[in-house]
Amino acid sequence: MADRGALPGRVLHDEVVAPRAPWSRLVAAGQTLRIVDLEGNQAVDCILYHAHDPDERYSAAETIVRQRNIFLSRGSELVSNEGRVMMTITDDSCGFHDTSGGACSRESNALRYGHHTRHQHACVDNFLLDHAQRGMGKRDLVGNVNWFMYVPVEPDGSLGIVDGRSGPGKHVDLRAEIDTLVVVSNCPQVNNPCNAFRPTPVRMIVYAP
Amino acid sequence: MSDTSTPAGARAHARAQAASEAALVRVKPTLPARDARDLPAGVPRDRLVWDETLGAGGYASRLIERGCRVRIDDLEGGACVGLLAYNADQTAERLNLADTVKVQWQVYLGPGSLLLSDMGRVLLSILEDASGRHDALCGTSSPRSLRNDDASRRVERPNGRDRFVLALARHGLTKRDLSTNLNLFKRVAVGADGSLSLERPPPSPSHVVLRAEMRVLLVVVNVAHVLEDRPDPPVTPARFLAWRGPRTAADDPVRTSTPERLRAFQNVEDLYGDPGEGGA
């Protein structure tokens, strides 16, 4: 478990998200969300929304264009569809996070692994479940961040979700630059290595300086 | 008194424009489409349903019936066609490029590639591709990226985001319905370290031919690529031609090329209740 005493601030919230479950929370400007990969190699799918205008949301394209790189790591800025920095990665003990692989869904699972996987739980269902409580829905889903997931691109363009580079206790810190609604799916995927074929819990700590 | 000081005079003036100026304007639709000029070889005039040329900053939206072919020409080599697609009957289903590259294990789309929806179906497939240079990652420019929040600049130097919003509004859709668009005719290379770089080959004309595998709402813009950092990058015209064609056969080489693609076609056939024709 992460050492709470090592956090550079006052803890406002501390919660373990069960394997396969959704999670969301408003992180106010100036607060920092630490996501801890408790057991290692656990993908955490994540979309950000402007807390007061959810039509403004994380944009993978704006984010990778801004930094001219598809991987997220310390110093990366998560940019909205309006070109605004929503959160900044202020600390990162993993080093690679994905912007291009998107979320697993019943539908994409069926394409990738066969029609027999149609009824497996998937990240899109987590996002939709969490969104339903606030009147948001499918139109609000956009390409997401996958914390702790590694998706390399080879010179010929080959791309794939491969064995993760994270490990037990690795974490990423996200400082909110605006009031940000963070919506997460603790990825339930069991057909590819993003969760080492065994979904595990993650810990979400919100702290303020 | 000027010629346009009365309704009758203004009407005569307005009507004279079509005769005097139409030939001078290149960026326009041809109505009816079968009157199109300079058709590329292989485009059947008798089945043509769309001919339109977009200049820099142009945008268009169009309902494309299942089986239609859509040929997009980069006429002079400087076009960058941003493309979005929706299930025309249920626009909550839309192009999902993350799924598109993930399911096909390939970030550089080319001949035989599918454009997948977020519901596991193939919206469009790429039948011909003389370019081989497309970008599925970077999306398009926005007022902020072009630093043209100022209203006048925003009109005089159109950004892709605004163009898409204008096109989508015609269908009751909004900014909320924008997903990351495909960029045709511009390749962005991804380095081993994840870095992105816009390739700049010498301009040369090129084209792609898409096949609508569903009833598709197609939305297109022609603006400079978002990684283009020259102050006034030249954007040259793109031409769009569409014609009716047969639905994809069971033994179609694109349909059967990989297990993932086959399942995307099966999902479409299941949606429309097509009679089963075998497959894996």
Interface of A with B in 112-151 (CB under 8 A): 112, 114-115, 124, 138-143, 151
Asked if A162 has any chain B CB less than 8 Å from its own CB, the reply is no
Which of A84, A110, A140 lies at the smallest CB-CB distance from B120?
A110
Nearest CA distance, B235 vs chain A (angstrom): 20
Q: pTM of the entire structure?
A: 0.95
Question: What are the tens digits of pLDDT across the range A151-191?
Answer: 999 999 999 999 999 999 999 999 999 999 999 999 999 99
Size of interface A-B (CB pairs under 8 A): 137
The residue of chain B with its CA nearest to that of A65 is B138
Question: What are the tens digits of pLDDT across the range B16-28?
Answer: 988 888 888 999 9
Residues 6+ apart with CB under 8 A from B12: B3
Whether the per-residue pLDDT at A1 is higher than 80: the answer is: no
Q: ipTM exceeding 0.85?
A: yes
For residue A172, which of A75, A83, A66 has the smallest C-alpha distance? A75
The residue of chain A with its CA nearest to that of B182 is A61
The residue of chain B with its CA nearest to that of A99 is B98
Q: Where are the domains of chain A?
A: 10-208
Mean pLDDT in chain A?
A: 95
For residue B16, being part of any structural domain is answered with no
In sign, the C-alpha dihedral spanning B49, B132, B223, B104 is positive
Whether the per-residue pLDDT at A117 is higher than 90: the answer is: yes
Residues 6+ apart with CB under 8 A from B15: none
Residue A78 pLDDT level (bands cut at 50, 70, 90): very high
Q: How large is the average pLDDT for residues A89-97?
A: 96
Residue with token string 């656990």:
A42
The residue of chain B with its CA nearest to that of A70 is B194
- Residue-number span of the structural domain to which B145 is assigned: 51-272
Per DSSP, the residues of B193-221 read TSBEEE--PPP--EEEEEEESS-EEEEEE
The residue of chain B with its CA nearest to that of A83 is B144
Give residue B152's pLDDT: 75
Which residues of chain A make contact with B180, given a CB cutoff of 8 A?
Answer: 59-61, 142-143
For residue B277, being part of any structural domain is answered with no
A69/B194 CB distance under 8 A: yes
Residues forming beta bridges with residue A91, ordered by sequence position? A173
Which residues of chain B make contact with A108, given a CB cutoff of 8 A?
Answer: 99, 102-103, 118, 120
- Percentage of residues in chain A having pLDDT higher than 70: 98
Give residue B74's pLDDT: 98
Which residues of chain A make contact with B120, given a CB cutoff of 8 A?
Answer: 105-108, 110-111
Question: What are the tens digits of pLDDT across the range A123-154?
Answer: 999 999 999 999 999 999 999 999 999 999 99
Beta strands in chain B (DSSP E): 48-54, 58-64, 69-74, 81-87, 114-116, 122-129, 134-135, 182-184, 188-190, 196-198, 206-212, 216-222, 238-243
Whether the per-residue pLDDT at A30 is higher than 50: the answer is: yes
pLDDT tens, chain B, 280 aa long: 688 999 999 999 999 988 888 888 999 999 999 999 999 999 999 999 999 999 999 999 999 999 999 999 999 999 999 999 999 999 999 999 999 999 999 999 999 999 999 999 999 999 999 999 999 999 999 988 877 667 777 787 889 999 999 999 999 999 999 999 999 999 999 999 999 999 999 999 999 999 999 999 999 999 999 999 888 888 999 999 999 999 999 999 999 999 999 999 999 999 999 876 554 4
For residue B28, being part of any structural domain is answered with no
In this structure, how many other beta carbons lie within 10 angstroms of the beta carbon of residue B244?
A: 14
Residue in A67, A106, A108, A138 to test binding to B, most B beta-carbons within 10 Å: A108
Q: How far apart are CA B164 and CA B223, in angstroms?
A: 11
A111/B116 CB distance under 8 A: yes
B106/A82 CB distance under 8 A: no
Which residues of chain A make contact with B116, given a CB cutoff of 8 A?
Answer: 111
For residue B183, being part of any structural domain is answered with yes
Q: How far apart are CA A172 and CA A32, in angstroms?
A: 10
Give residue B260's pLDDT: 98
> How many independent structural domains does chain B possess?
1
For residue B64, being part of any structural domain is answered with yes
Nearest CA distance, A143 vs chain B (angstrom): 7
Which residues of chain A make contact with B267, given a CB cutoff of 8 A?
Answer: 107, 110-111
Which of A107, A140, A151 lies at the smallest CB-CB distance from B176?
A140
A70/B190 CB distance under 8 A: yes
Which of B105, B120, B142 lies at the smallest CB-CB distance from A159?
B105
**Helices (H) and strands (E) in chain B — how many of each?**
5, 13
Which residues of chain B make contact with A114, given a CB cutoff of 8 A?
Answer: 259, 263
- The single-letter code of the amino acid at A45 is D
